[in-house]
Amino acid sequence: MELDPDDVWAITSRARIYQSVGRYEEALAEYTHAIELNSSSASIIADRGYLNRLAGRYEEALADCASAIELDPENSNAITNRGATYRISGQYEEALVDFDRAIELDPGSGWAHYEKTVALYAAQDPDYDIYFARVVEICTPDSSESDPAISDIGNLFLVHCLMSDWAEAEHYLGTFISNGATRGDVTELLTVMNTLRPIVPSAREHLAPFSCRLENALGEFE
């Protein structure tokens, strides 16, 4: 049976496979092709916006998020991603508006709570402690969980880096690497971790060895 070259499901599946192995350029090309075929899909546009942020294309990320939110005003992933892009760009007020809305839509989102913690910390708002505790509450695996979500472990690593709790950060990094993280997971964690460098005063000394561990983990995929 001949495959349909314009099958949007197949194209977005390829995009996600490329993303999972850290091949962002190929993934972005596939997402763009899918959007050309189905420009009304908020989820596909939001996915491309997420990847544009990871690739450092912040203007493109914001444009994609705006388009996705226009199509689906309750798309919490697009709203959180726009907030994360604002946060990386130092636009903390805009970021916090988005994180508040995302948390309203999805109160159990560890990602939205993590990003709000970072934005509050960067803005020197003492309420960051409240949201730090919430990230830990949401993302800490239950003792009965044998296979915790890799995204939750990543958020726990990142939020402990933010709080300069380096022993806990090292613990969660080890768990992240040993728990079946894909090449794409490792690439993403390294990218997001690096956005903390300007925010955390003691980051340089401690994040350098974490970067080495993540880069070594990437080398094992070669």
Instruction: Classify residue 175 by its DSSP letter.
Output: H
Question: How many degrees, rounded to 5, is the angle at CA 126 between CA 153 and CA 158?
Answer: 15
Count H helices and E strands in the chain, helices first: 12, 0
Listed by start position, the domains of the chain span 140-222
| Per-residue pLDDT, 148 | 87
Residues 98, 85: Cα–Cα separation, whole Å: 10
Residue ranges in the chain modelled with pLDDT below 50: 1-2
pLDDT at 108: 96
For tokens 């993280």, the residue is: 181
Task: Tell me how far apart the 2 most distant CA atoms of the chain are, in Å.
Answer: 60
Nearest to 97 by CA among 67, 65, 71: 65
List, for residues 67-114, the tens digit of each pLDDT value. 999 999 999 999 999 999 999 999 999 999 999 999 999 999 999 999
pLDDT at 145: 67
> What's the distance, Cα to Cα, between the start and end of the chain in Å?
33
Let me know if 179 is exposed, middle or buried by CB neighbors in 10 A (0-12, 13-18, 19+). middle
Which residue matches tokens 């990142």? 158
What whole-number distance in Å separates Cα of residue 58 and Cα of residue 81? 10
What local confidence, expressed as pLDDT, does residue 72 receive?
98
Instruction: Using a cut of 0.85, tell me whether the model's pTM lies above it.
Output: yes
